[in-house]
Amino acid sequence: MKKYETETIRNLGMFSHGGEGKTSIVEAMLFLAGENTRLGRVDDGTSLMDYEPEEIERKATISSTLACFEWNKYKINLLDTPGDDNFIYDAKLCIRVVDGAVIVVSAVSGVRVQTEKVWEYANEFSVPVCFFINKMDRERADFTRTVEDLRKNFTDKNIVVVQLPIGSEESFKGVIDLISMKAYLYKDDLSGAFERVDIPADLAAEAASYREKLIESAVEMDDAVMERYLNGEEIKDEEIEACLKGGIWGRKLAPVMVGAAAKNMGIQPLLDNLVRYFPNPLYAGKAEGADPVSGKPVTRKMAPNEPFSAFVFKTITDPFAGKLTLFKVYSGELHPDSVVLNVKKDEKERIGQIFYLVGKKQKPAGFVSVGDIAAVAKLKEAATGDTLCDEKAPIVYPEVALPSPLISFSLHPKSKGDEDKLNTSLGRLIEEDPSIRYSRDEQTKEFIISGMGQIHIEVLVARMKRKFGVDVELREPKVPYKETIKGRTKVQGKYKRQSGGRGQYGDCWLELEPLPHGAGFEFVDKIVGGVIPRQYIPSVEKGIVEAMEHGILAGYPTTDFRATVYDGSYHEVDSSDMAFKIAASMGFKKGMEQSQPTLLEPIMKVEVIMPEEFVGDIMGDMNSRRGKIMGVEAKGNNQIVKAVVPMAEMLKYAPDLRSMTGGRGTFVMEFSHYEEVPAHIAQKVIDQANREREA
């Protein structure tokens, strides 16, 4: 691909709720820009952007994809992101590196949950936005209603209509540009061919009134122009454009455009407006980072003659082609065959060839300069969120905060070979998607994998199989129950084998007593007069520690009690460490039986955030999950319900919450403490555990 001045680069991204048509829009753009000889379609698996097998199977974007192409002598680096909330972290990483966000809404369904989320992300990262109202050809498409919906939901910016649709549903034919006051009338043949004509007479009045509103909004961005407008002077089209541009760059207004991607209608005017109104990568002037040693904030001038620095926003793992690292350059230049510092890993990375991407297609890039987005293959350490830079001028750029995981499963490798490869393959996939967490539960010994939703985890498992040949099964994770005692007791543990040869003799008296929840295990030695010789006391403790690993109720670890050894006896020849260990463990088991053994369960602290209207339902549901409501608070337009709930009742909360709130509720959850399991439930847990142990 040829070289472009940074001023002629546009870094843009497509964001929306799932299925609004982002990928279809990009396909139409690639076709019009000559990157594809036909119009790729998500529905029949011919999309250049949704090329991964899991994406083709689900007909949805799972992982963001970069498309670099030329339009009107501008180089567009366009990121197509997933809309499904399982993969929304990927969209957030992309919004971090673009200079303009196209938020797509469907003319049929309007603003939806993820639309609100991506709007918030754009605000969080101060990214200029525009709207594209798509699917104007669909039944029940309604432009006016959709614009009203945008205005109702996004009140912090002026929503300005710059295009009007011509017709709707079956008779959607094209768009009116309210600045040039011309109509683009499309042929209904997917070619994207159009005629630029005068506005149809029946729409002239409507277009004039919308143009008036457009001018009113535009001139507000510039006091001098505003004054002339109020004095009745005529405002030139170029001035309106300049005002709009200022409003978009300053994030005070968001223009609205319209079309139908699947019909390849309205895409050229969208592209024209994107290059015209959105900033070039240098508009911010500087990039904010931190000194990797002191942690103090530093800024880096975004200029080609500054030392190199870049942020890694994406990693693509491929077992055959190797790893591909996608980055945005914030300062300086990156040349092939150079060495850069990976600041976070404190490792030097050798840069090979640099590429631009169009979907999975790679184009050699030569070197890349400030503001550009590109990819490099086979870096050793680089993972999503890392900073690469000139080792003589280290800087680290802020990562994108990870969302808290909402659902967990336990992973069961299907064979020994799978188990061996599990760690490496998971590690590679987490480099790609850090919103997946992976850990080993110390108690249950299970591999636990957590993510944003069931589909998130299922897709990971499918990828693990396809990319690394690792086959695993997903199960609900086990709840890490514990056992304790409620009563106190004194008990003798005695082990004696004295028939022929050297015998075994150990004898200890133990007192067991409960401790408060969370206190753990305490061992006290009250032996006097050497009734048990000193050297055997640690064996007594060890015997209890080993036995308490598997409580007598259901085999769960025992906790929150004190064991005191206060008496015993020994044999000059037959006593040994082993004998005292066995004696103590026998004593512990008998003693536990005598002192009201009890099952404990983990209790989670949960916060559910949702619109007011769902508060009643959520609280009722919490009660049915044995939860205790700790309070309800307002947060912006939402309410937060705080509760403590047994973990066992929360394993499937994510899908349940989604269906209760139509996807508008979210929650965070963390471990709080252990509590006694109510008797009727405890019996079921014990029976189940014993059945499993027998099996």
Ligand X SMILES: Nc1nc2c(ncn2[C@@H]2O[C@H](COP(=O)(O)OP(=O)(O)OP(=O)(O)O)[C@@H](O)[C@H]2O)c(=O)[nH]1
Q: How far is the CB of 51 from Mg ion (least distance, A)?
A: 11
Our finding on whether 146 is near Mg ion (CB under 5 A) is no
Q: How far is the CB of 561 from ligand X (least distance, A)?
A: 53
Stretch that binds ligand X, among 133-141, 280-288, 477-485, 501-509 (CB under 6 A): 133-141
Which of residues 60, 185, 459, 547 is near ligand X by CB under 6 A? Answer: 60
Whether 411 and 447 have beta carbons less than 8 Å apart is answered as: yes
Our finding on whether 511 is near ligand X (CB under 6 A) is no
Our finding on whether 102 is near ligand X (CB under 6 A) is no
CB nearer to ligand X: give 18 or 506: 18
| Binding-site partner at residue 344 among Mg ion, ligand X, none, CB < 5 to 8 Å by type | none
Place of tokens 């295009």: 163
For residue 14, the SS3 value is: strand
Our finding on whether 261 is near ligand X (CB under 6 A) is yes
Q: How far is the CB of 64 from Mg ion (least distance, A)?
A: 9
Which of residues 65, 86, 134, 384 is near ligand X by CB under 6 A? Answer: 134
CB nearer to Mg ion: give 61 or 598: 61
Q: Which amino acid is at 77?
A: N
Cross-strand pairs, 449: 409, 438
| DSSP 8-state code for residue 97 | T
CB nearer to ligand X: give 262 or 643: 262
Our finding on whether 64 is near Mg ion (CB under 5 A) is no
Q: How far is the CB of 459 from ligand X (least distance, A)?
A: 12
Which of residues 36, 61, 217, 484 is near Mg ion by CB under 5 A? Answer: 61
CB nearer to ligand X: give 264 or 484: 264
Which of residues 13, 40, 83, 477 is near ligand X by CB under 6 A? Answer: 83
Cross-strand pairs, 603: 646, 673
Token pair of 203 as six digits: 């729409």
Which of residues 9, 10, 15, 23 is near Mg ion by CB under 5 A? Answer: 23
d(CA 493, CA 504): 13
Stretch that binds Mg ion, among 53-61, 158-166, 208-216, 293-301 (CB under 5 A): 53-61
In terms of Cα–Cα distance, which of 69, 27, 135, 126 is closest to 275? 69
Our finding on whether 81 is near Mg ion (CB under 5 A) is no
Q: How far is the CB of 56 from ligand X (least distance, A)?
A: 11
Whether 368 and 340 have beta carbons less than 8 Å apart is answered as: no
Our finding on whether 90 is near ligand X (CB under 6 A) is no
d(CA 240, CA 259): 22
- Torsions phi, psi of 296, nearest 5? -70, 145
Binding characters for ligand X, 262-301, by CB under 6 A (x = yes):
xx--------------------------------------
In terms of Cα–Cα distance, which of 44, 42, 45 is closest to 27? 42
Q: How far is the CB of 663 from ligand X (least distance, A)?
A: 13
Stretch that binds ligand X, among 22-30, 223-231, 338-346, 536-544 (CB under 6 A): 22-30
CB nearer to ligand X: give 43 or 337: 43
Our finding on whether 138 is near ligand X (CB under 6 A) is yes
In terms of Cα–Cα distance, which of 122, 115, 101, 100 is closest to 16? 115
d(CA 336, CA 353): 5
In terms of Cα–Cα distance, which of 475, 474, 507, 470 is closest to 492? 507
d(CA 591, CA 588): 5
In terms of Cα–Cα distance, which of 687, 676, 668 is closest to 405? 668
Q: How far is the CB of 111 from ligand X (least distance, A)?
A: 14
Alpha-carbon separation of residue 230 from 162, 220, 224, 539, 656 (angstroms): 21, 11, 10, 93, 55
Q: Which amino acid is at 493?
A: G
Token pair of 579 as six digits: 């004998």
Stretch that binds ligand X, among 12-20, 299-307, 395-403, 511-519 (CB under 6 A): 12-20
Alpha-carbon separation of residue 498 from 175, 576, 581 (angstroms): 99, 13, 17
For residue 566, the SS3 value is: strand
d(CA 667, CA 180): 48
Which of residues 11, 52, 64, 82 is near ligand X by CB under 6 A? Answer: 82
Whether 605 and 644 have beta carbons less than 8 Å apart is answered as: yes
Whether 453 and 654 have beta carbons less than 8 Å apart is answered as: yes
* Element at 463 (helix H, strand E): helix 454-468
Helix axes 113-124, 88-95, angle to 10 degrees: 30
Q: How far is the CB of 24 from ligand X (least distance, A)?
A: 3
For residue 235, the SS3 value is: coil
CB nearer to Mg ion: give 27 or 99: 27
Q: How far is the CB of 336 from ligand X (least distance, A)?
A: 33
Alpha-carbon separation of residue 359 from 19, 63, 75, 79 (angstroms): 18, 11, 16, 10
Stretch that binds ligand X, among 31-39, 95-103, 257-265, 354-362 (CB under 6 A): 257-265
Our finding on whether 565 is near ligand X (CB under 6 A) is no
Q: How far is the CB of 432 from Mg ion (least distance, A)?
A: 18
CB nearer to Mg ion: give 48 or 660: 48
Stretch that binds ligand X, among 135-143, 303-311, 365-373, 628-636 (CB under 6 A): 135-143
Our finding on whether 558 is near ligand X (CB under 6 A) is no
Interface residues with ligand X (CB under 6 A)? 16, 18-24, 42-43, 60-61, 82-84, 134-135, 137-138, 260-263
Interface residues with Mg ion (CB under 5 A)? 22-23, 61
